Amino acid sequence: MTVTPQPLTARQRGLLVLLSFDAFLLGLLELFFLPLRLDGIVLPKLGDAPIPLTVVLAVLTTPLLVMMTAKVIRPSFSVIPLLVWVLVVLVMGVTGPGGDLVLVQDWRALLLIGGGALPGALALGGGLGRAAKAGKGGNHG
């Protein structure tokens, strides 16, 4: 027996657009503030050390967006905010506004990409696995 998914309601489409826009804005914010340093300009002067605060933001918010999409829309659509975030970070990081290279070329870039994509992918896989298990259990139970 095949189950055809119902089309998204207008409310669900609006929420999907909102969550995707959130992923877009968070990707930009995390990318543009990645080069923060303790140099006395924005943060206090403490030895000019790099402090990638936006990686922590990415680790927390990317899986949250994925889980929210799975919860309020449908688990199969939860990949969309993750893809939006990854595309924003990669495309804007390399091409940037005016052709500038925004993504810093050191360990912080890898930390940002891994810190946002890995937890988001784990949340995506967990949500899809739970949905598949619930669907499988519902058909046989």
- Reading the block at residue 114, the tokens are 């891994």
Q: What is the pTM of this model?
A: 0.86
Report the distance separating Cα 50 and Cα 73, nearest Å: 38
With CA atoms as reference, report the closest residue to 30 among 71, 79, 67, 84: 84
Note down pLDDT in tens along the chain; length 141 residues: 566 778 889 999 999 999 999 999 999 999 999 988 887 777 777 888 888 899 999 999 999 999 999 999 999 999 999 999 999 999 999 888 787 788 888 899 999 999 999 999 999 999 999 988 887 754 444
**Domain residue spans of the chain:** 10-128
